[in-house]
Chains A and B, each alone.
Chain A
Amino acid sequence: MVSFLRFLINGISLGSVYAIIALGYTMVYGIAKMLNFAHGDVIMVGAYIAYCSMQYLGMPAIVSVLAAMLVCTAMGIIIEGLAYRPLRSAPKLAVLITAIGVSYFLQNSALLIWSSNPKVFPSVFDVGAFRAFGGELMITSETILTIVANIVIMIALTTFTGKTKVGKAMRAVSEDRGAAQLMGINVNRTISITFAIGSALAAIAGVLLCSAYPTLQPTTGSMPGIKAFTAAVFGGIGSIPGAMIGGLMLGVIEILGKAYISTELGDAIVFAVLIIVLLFKPAGLLGKPVNEKV
């Protein structure tokens, strides 16, 4: 029983990292209607910025997280402006390929700047661990922090898109870009803001990912990025609570699958569950089915 709980907690810990990345994916998809495959690599850059500010410039953890957010926000706006904006009216496939190109560009730039030598990320928020069952069960502070950050970000995003003027503009752009423009909403600016927020989230996700799993190298963001994308699809892409639930479930399924079925089949189990869910609920767990108008 204790070992089951231990696996469950490890699963939630992994899942909450997926969830926080998935929030960025789902946010950009929900509003700009594009899959930003470079999201995982923005995470990696964010983690590197935080790492460098802490190790080389000696900044405290909070300041380095803010620095990473600032750099990633700027980078998100620049990427959107240079790579995606010129393709606004191009076919979706062209944007998707460009996103993959941006992903490679970021990875290879990171290789040039930071080299392929992996770095070990320092523990950012180490305040010990919470214990139960006479020390048998342990929850690390990183896990608790990641979960809290997830909930805070989820509530903040939901409030932001629901209540504020910019948030309402985002929803309008998401529903009908043409109509939003006719109503006087600056579509380009709204999408830029979306990318800025998504990239700032990526920076936070990068720091949390590397605090929990401290190996940092230029490919660090790719696999968690793909898993988080899966989580976003699982929960219903475009839905903010969906991303969170999808991420948590994915993490738990992955760990329990590895623990009780086979470590070799861990990832296969995750994707098999995804296929089954999509067979019964094609829009994901919380996604709204879209009726194609003819």
Chain B
Amino acid sequence: MKNIKTLISLLLVAAMMLASTAVLAEGALKIGVIGPFTGGAALYGLACKYGAQVAADEINAQGGLQIELLCEDDEHDAEKSVNAYNAVLDQGAQMIAGTTTTTPCLAVSAQAFEDRVFMLTPSASSAKVPEGKDNMYQVCFEDPAMGVFSAQIISENALATKVAVIYNNADDYSTGIYQNFKAKCEEVGLEIVSETTFTDETTDFSVQVTAAKDAGAELVFLPIYYTPASRILQTAKDMEYAPVFFGVDGMDGILALEGFDTSLAEGVILLTPFSADSTDERTVDFVAKYQAVSGGDIPNQFAADAYDAVYALYNASINAGIDGDTAAEDACEMLIAEFATLEYAGLTGDMTWTPDGKVSKMPNAYVIEGGSYVAFEG
């Protein structure tokens, strides 16, 4: 009886080994992709997953070093994200294109710093993400940079002298942009006449909009996501208040909001590194491929950032001589050395990286006209 059990377990072990070697493509570069594919933040995680998939498909179609993506769901939860990270490492991931959202990314990057695994997040934009970790890099702008760029553009184009800010004080992203915007405003001589806040649970925005209106603001800066922004635009219209509205990358997506009256967004200016409405050939091609992979969704900035993350990792790996057999720890040191000099012309702009993990690229300013993005010319 005992012998039979031993025999069965041996057979099972053999079967498992066979199965696992069959799953992994021979010699392919294995990149872990972690993000919320289910739950409330699934919009962002799925965009990253599909964006990364488009990049991997393109690379694999070219021949040469192949890519295998190992995707795990973290439900935008720090603890589950660390589990997902361990799961992709167990499956042989050599580097991580992730994680999608900031809070999980802080937890995973702390672990990856210990383990010496290289991480390039498409979209976790908090300044805290790469802080103190030499192996953590970003594709997206850091939040502070968006605030500084916004103040610059407003002042250079003389869009206003009196500015109101409405931001989400329960959100690191929003607060980070606001603080740097404020600092830059003082420097360039823009007067902030009204500062009001809200949280994710806020239902009514009348107080915030009234404050901006009563203070005589000519421009309202909205360093927030598009859902609350859509409500602020509606509230302002109801109050017959028509300042210039200026948003950042979180505003991207407002036109795709189901049921949204796009005339409300007429004249809204936003800074974003990527717009699916752009007529640039590479963007058009990406949008078509993304729709095929995702079943018809329009890619947002997260998708483009993830696409760029996979390409940047791939290019850096080729340059550094990393292949499917390089250990994750070795790949980490080689990538750190490589990213110091890497130049990559991506969908979201021409990028280089500083040694502290921050990307340097220029955002594009768009203005919404007739329900689509038009390049902002000042």
Contact = CB atoms under 8 A, between A and B. Distances in A.
A213 to B, nearest CB: 5
B196 A263 contact: yes
A263 B261 contact: no
B207 A255 contact: yes
Interface stretch (A94-102, A178-186, A192-200, A218-226): A218-226
A138 B238 contact: yes
Nearest to B253: A117
A223 B201 contact: yes
B190 interface: no
Interface stretch (A6-14, A148-156, A273-281): A6-14
Interface string B146-177: 00000000000000000000000100000000
B231 A111 contact: no
Interface in A213-243: 213-215, 217-219, 222-224
A213 B207 contact: no
Nearest to B36: A116
B257 A14 contact: no
Contacts of A55: 259
Interface in A245-294: 254-255, 258-259, 263-264, 266-267
A13 B201 CA distance: 17
27 contacts: A3-B210, A7-B206, A7-B207, A7-B210, A10-B204, A55-B259, A111-B39, A115-B43, A116-B39, A116-B40, A116-B41, A116-B42, A117-B258, A119-B259, A120-B230, A120-B257, A121-B259, A129-B238, A135-B240, A213-B231, A215-B228, A215-B230, A218-B40, A259-B211, A263-B208, A266-B202, A266-B207
B46 to A, nearest CB: 9
B285 interface: no
B204 A118 contact: no
A44 B131 CA distance: 40
Interface of B: 38-43, 169, 196-199, 201-204, 206-208, 210-211, 214, 227-228, 230-231, 234, 238-240, 257-261
Interface of A: 3, 6-7, 10, 13-14, 17, 51, 55, 111, 115-122, 129, 135, 138, 140, 209, 213-215, 217-219, 222-224, 254-255, 258-259, 263-264, 266-267
A14 B204 contact: yes
A106 to B, nearest CB: 14
- The 7 closest A-B CB pairs, nearest first, are A120-B259, A223-B201, A10-B206, A119-B258, A258-B207, A263-B196, A120-B260
B238 A259 contact: no
Given A10-B204, A140-B238, A267-B201, 13 more contacts: A6-B206, A13-B204, A116-B41, A116-B42, A119-B258, A120-B261, A121-B259, A213-B203, A214-B234, A217-B227, A259-B210, A263-B196, A264-B197
Most chain A beta-carbon neighbours within 10 Å: one of B203, B208, B238, B239: B203
B257 A118 contact: yes
Contacts, number: 87
A66 B310 CA distance: 50
Contacts of A121: 259
Contact of A219 (B40, B204, B211, B257): B40
B76 to A, nearest CB: 10
Nearest to B196: A263
A209 B230 CA distance: 16
Contacts of B238: 129, 138, 140
A177 B213 CA distance: 56
Given A10-B207, A223-B203, A264 B261 contact: no
Given A7-B210, A213-B231, A264-B169, A14 B203 contact: yes
Contacts of A222: 201
A129 B240 CA distance: 12
A39 to B, nearest CB: 16
B231 A215 contact: yes
A209 B203 CA distance: 9
Contacts of A118: 227, 257-258
Most chain A beta-carbon neighbours within 10 Å: one of B206, B227, B257: B206
Given A118-B257, A120-B261, A3 B234 contact: no
Nearest to A219: B40
Contacts of B258: 117-120
B40 A259 contact: no
Given A14-B204, A213-B231, A264-B197, A116 B43 contact: yes
A213 B228 CA distance: 10
Nearest to B227: A118
A208 B287 CA distance: 38
B206 A255 contact: yes
Contact of B227 (A6, A135, A215, A218): A215
Contacts of B260: 120
A55 B41 CA distance: 24
A147 to B, nearest CB: 15
B204 A255 contact: yes
Most chain A beta-carbon neighbours within 10 Å: one of B201, B207, B214: B207
Nearest to B38: A111
B210 A6 contact: yes
Most chain A beta-carbon neighbours within 10 Å: one of B38, B40, B238, B261: B40
Contacts of B39: 111, 116
Contact of A111 (B40, B169, B210): B40
Contacts of B198: 263
Contacts of A267: 199, 201
Contacts of B202: 266
Contacts of A3: 210, 214
